Structure 1
């Protein structure tokens, strides 16, 4: 079995970077030539003597990326233990370093900006890895893979977060390189898969039974991005903000936690622990439950215009049908039946998204049968769509709509349990994954002997797949944890762990609240809403005030700060490739192309407000009327400036620069056309744009000469 090296030294010289593992002196050395970036493997003992400027110890190679003018190697320089899974240590990436291939850097504004985006992405992203266990896959999928194959080949492509920046190494592995044309398995130990998301491992007790509670959320690398710049599906069927969350209970994890075993008898098939492999009842037991979340699977977008509630655009369902087919084909292939829980509002602006989702499901399933259930709160408490027959692939889709906001109105969050009750039959059939770890296996980490599998998945969404989604997912996880504990004999049938052990319940709630915050921060830029319900089990006024703070912060971040964040995702994940961009316009990638007059309006508003404040707090003496005129004048200027900004909000949203969104381009052009027709602003804007066109041409020519 080939596992990644746990220790790597980097020798830096003027003509190459050389990576070796001190603990594996017989392994091939990885050489990356400077400045070409050519990869080759060399016998470490045959390396010629050369002048080495420095030797650095790293935890692993995250990957290699080409920007506009140079290639860079990204290394993990510091990692801290996050805990053990089945006795195998998992690490969190703490710090990284970027090694340029050019010995002498070329100073270029765009290159510096791209590097800044890359560093921001590396700094803010919660990334995890293991040298010995595949954390990109759920335990159920791990049990289906050959543990003797290299770790990176077993990785789930969706959650292999650094897959794009590992492309050069993977291509070299499969096809070889200059002077080494054949496949090169010797590079396998240098390829380290990393996940982005949440990984919490908590050794604890439920009453007197020791166990390890684990929560893993893996964010998909496909269609990654921020809240308002990444919605719905792409043409390949990848959904925005797609995450797989796995809740794991490990019993008798002797090798990792040092905790004592669980006394039991029989086997897991009968619902009792113990088993033939360990008469003392101390074999390691794995119980896992998987859920998914993802944006509503149609073509839709929310267009920022500086209004608190963005405008929704939805393309025809027929146009998105091929993408939806690709999406659900993958989901059914991986998870089996999909229970599609939709939590968006049935009234107001969200109603269009709900209707589009339902039309999509009706287009996919055979002879759809709809059923609506009402109560005293709403006419549409539940809305289900089930296939009339179960013969075609997409007849494994089961749509369940729940009017979350109406049912839980007035802090009545306990009514969300109604959805779990509605899904009771599906959850009973769905089951969960159960296995026994076989430590006698020759493979590191052992082998899983499967006793039961999860046969379907609940795919939950709201508008953002954040706040409402996390509440429902935590309720489903709590329901399934009750069932696990009953099956293994540590909880009486009909009881709930939340009533039996308040300390354990507190841990469970906080793990799910932490999960909500991390997933939300990576997408919206803030922590999640409604975490008071997840942490305390009840909706509180303090929690409502905190949600107000989150809402205001999201508004500011999503309108004024998310453009660079989206650019950072696009750069790291390969949605934008600087090397293939138009080099003639490279110097204009991050240029502010708005007319200077448009750019100046926010500054005019800020200075006007400052002058108003200075006037209000200044001593007037005998000059009362001049001061009043001064204040009124600047108040008028400030009011007009703010009116102009919010009337033409498309011009002041911080849009992504690397991959401009089509709806943003259309909206910008419409707004700037409206400004050109303004009798006061129009002539000034047009005059500036004529000058800007000349400047753009001169800058493009200068950039082209510099690159040549």
Structure 2
């Protein structure tokens, strides 16, 4: 399989774009280039020996790659990577993260647009930019980072797989620019111009343990299916894809006389049922399930999907509370799991908050003991180039969830990963049979920080803040400073979830192609505001006015009666707003789920 061109000179001519492949150090790396007509949007691959790029009157820009093209109101636009850096290696393959991008319209002017169209065009460009600014986008020009080590090993003997382009062989579940690359992929000979990008986390460290050099990597791949923000994406869709689904692979590379590689894969995803939890200004909206939904069918579809892509056995580690607002969803999951009675799926309940209340986080050892047999039975992937030892495959997978698959989930996933890493290091003889990761201070510190960074990044992408409880993952204990930081993050999440996540969801749907712009049917809801002339808008204005008058009466007029009057008006307005909370939050406007 050929790799992807690692960089380009982008020639922007009045009539066309020309993408010339280059070496990072400079100089052309191919005799072909991609030509894009800025008027007709047609594309073709040319041979520079037969037809040279017209350099005169062209602006030249060095770029690292092309994310793709997208249709905006003004016409198509090219999205390119202008800054990137290497963050690590898997094997000898460089892994890059995207630092900056640019959206370049095909048309050089928007004079052909009406004022409304120009407004929408700017808004859509801002939305795309907001997604690109999320961070957490990674790629490799020579290695498929959308697939697990185990999958690549199992398919390396397939001629069709090995001769496919990197984009064709990548997992469409985790390629975030798949929609953007649709047009370029249709061009004959453009395979090496199509760079697959994943979204999630990549962290890596090298260290010496008992005289042995090891490299530890964590890579989290966020699914494009049912992708979105915290409250607007819950449960599963009709195809069994779970919201907030993330595949996390912990990779260990050990260099002795030759390179040995192990990996351990875990899954996280929203509770695999049909449910919702829409923001409504309350601190925690009540989860909802419709009695007419076929929960058994949704559950079965979800795990049929798991079996197809992973095989082996699966253990659902459910961390939701067994009382309060979480009980309804958690209890239904347990009931449906028992009713489904799938032979390769086992349901395991662990009430995280009940067991670890009052900062008794040492009680996580209870869960570790409960899962110990399956941790051993599931094992991990192992390969060695010379096959001194036979290849081993991971036989089962833990699918962990809480309500958001963020905070509690990351804590438990790190615990399971630590147990697997201990087994891997013992197999190599790097740790003695009575040693564990916790016993080696340097390794334990590095391990904790990698997993805490992973939790923070996944949380930022989904909920807008770093993970809660990350002090335990990072330090191995719960601290009062960590609890205070959790409080700040919780308030920040509340504000984002209620007043910013509708826009973020719209931006993701636009980026992934879940919403396609139709210039003749622009969504009028995109310009609606909560400060409107209906009863909701009037209630909001009245609440702000009453609050202002209350403060003025207290500070300036010193009129007790007037202060009480305006305070009552303020509370009446606020009560109305909270009773109709769903009408006042920032909801998605492009694609209704």
Mapped pair 1:338 → 2:340: no
Partner of 2:315: helix, strand, or coil?
Answer: strand
1:315 deviation in Å? 2.9
1:541 deviation in Å? 2.2
Distance in 2 (alpha carbons) for counterparts of 1:589 and 1:640: 30
Instruction: Give deviations 1:518-543, integer Å, cap 9, x for gaps.
Output: 11111111111111111111122222
For the structure 1 residues 130 and 544, does the alpha-carbon distance in structure 2 shift closer, same or farther, using more than 3 Å as the test?
same
Flag structure 1 segments of 5+ consecutive residues without an equivalent: 173-183, 253-261, 263-280, 366-393, 439-446, 662-708
1:17 deviation in Å? 1.1
Question: Which residue is equivalent to 2:419?
Answer: 479
Distance in 2 (alpha carbons) for counterparts of 1:315 and 1:639: 33
Instruction: Give deviations 1:357-410, integer Å, cap 9, x for gaps.
Output: 123323432xxxxxxxxxxxxxxxxxxxxxxxxxxxx31111111121111112
Question: Which residue is equivalent to 2:169?
Answer: 154
Question: Which residue is equivalent to 1:701?
Answer: none
Contact 1:225 1:240 in 2 (8 A): yes
Instruction: Give deviations 1:315-374, integer Å, cap 9, x for gaps.
Output: 348624444333212211222211111111111221111122123323432xxxxxxxxx
Mapped pair 1:164 → 2:172: no
Question: Which residue is equivalent to 1:604?
Answer: 542
Equivalent in 227, 232, 236 of residue 233 of structure 1: 236
Instruction: Give deviations 1:71-102, integer Å, cap 9, x for gaps.
Output: 11110111011012212111110000011112
Alignment map for 1:145-544 (pairs within 5 Å): 145-146=155-156, 147-172=162-187, 184=188, 186-252=189-255, 262=256, 281=257, 283-316=258-291, 319-335=294-310, 336-365=312-341, 394-437=342-385, 451-499=391-439, 501-544=440-483
Distance in 2 (alpha carbons) for counterparts of 1:322 and 1:20: 50
Question: Which residue is equivalent to 1:682?
Answer: none
Question: Which residue is equivalent to 2:138?
Answer: 128
1:584 deviation in Å? 4.1
Distance in 2 (alpha carbons) for counterparts of 1:150 and 1:587: 41
Question: Which residue is equivalent to 1:692?
Answer: none
Partner of 1:423: helix, strand, or coil?
Answer: helix
1:632 deviation in Å? 3.0
1:597 deviation in Å? 4.5
Contact 2:204 2:450 in 1 (8 A): no
Alignment map for 1:643-654 (pairs within 5 Å): 643-654=575-586
Distance in 2 (alpha carbons) for counterparts of 1:166 and 1:572: 11
Question: Which residue is equivalent to 1:34?
Answer: 38
Distance in 2 (alpha carbons) for counterparts of 1:307 and 1:228: 12
For the structure 1 residues 361 and 171, does the alpha-carbon distance in structure 2 shift closer, same or farther, using more than 3 Å as the test?
farther
Equivalent in 84, 88, 96 of residue 91 of structure 1: 96
Distance in 2 (alpha carbons) for counterparts of 1:450 and 1:307: 55
Instruction: Give deviations 1:636-694, integer Å, cap 9, x for gaps.
Output: 33222222211221211110010134xxxxxxxxxxxxxxxxxxxxxxxxxxxxxxxxx
Distance in 2 (alpha carbons) for counterparts of 1:659 and 1:318: 21
Contact 2:246 2:269 in 1 (8 A): yes
Higher alpha-carbon deviation: 186-195 or 348-357: 348-357
Partner of 1:296: helix, strand, or coil?
Answer: coil
TM-score norm. by structure 1 comes to 0.78
Partner of 2:203: helix, strand, or coil?
Answer: strand
Partner of 1:94: helix, strand, or coil?
Answer: strand
TM-score norm. by structure 2 comes to 0.92
Contact 2:11 2:55 in 1 (8 A): no
For the structure 1 residues 3 and 123, does the alpha-carbon distance in structure 2 shift closer, same or farther, using more than 3 Å as the test?
same
Distance in 2 (alpha carbons) for counterparts of 1:546 and 1:191: 42
Question: Which residue is equivalent to 2:159?
Answer: none
Mapped pair 1:58 → 2:63: yes
Partner of 2:3: helix, strand, or coil?
Answer: coil
Distance in 1 (alpha carbons) for counterparts of 2:542 and 2:334: 48
Contact 1:433 1:454 in 2 (8 A): yes
Mapped pair 1:569 → 2:508: yes
For the structure 1 residues 27 and 327, does the alpha-carbon distance in structure 2 shift closer, same or farther, using more than 3 Å as the test?
farther
Instruction: Give deviations 1:402-457, integer Å, cap 9, x for gaps.
Output: 1211111121111112112111111111110111247xxxxxxxx99962111111
Distance in 1 (alpha carbons) for counterparts of 2:196 and 2:84: 14
Instruction: Give deviations 1:614-645, integer Å, cap 9, x for gaps.
Output: 44334x6xxx5xx3344333323322222221
Question: Which residue is equivalent to 1:642?
Answer: 574
For the structure 1 residues 194 and 600, does the alpha-carbon distance in structure 2 shift closer, same or farther, using more than 3 Å as the test?
same
Distance in 1 (alpha carbons) for counterparts of 2:359 and 2:19: 57
Higher alpha-carbon deviation: 483-492 or 201-210: 201-210
Task: Tell me the number of residue pairs that the alignment of Structure 1 and Structure 2 aligns.
Answer: 576
Mapped pair 1:74 → 2:79: yes
Partner of 1:52: helix, strand, or coil?
Answer: coil
Partner of 2:216: helix, strand, or coil?
Answer: strand
Distance in 2 (alpha carbons) for counterparts of 1:169 and 1:28: 15
Flag structure 2 segments of 5+ consecutive residues without an equivalent: 157-161
Alignment map for 1:658-669 (pairs within 5 Å): 658-661=590-593
Which structure would you say has the larger Rg?
Answer: 1
Contact 1:590 1:657 in 2 (8 A): no
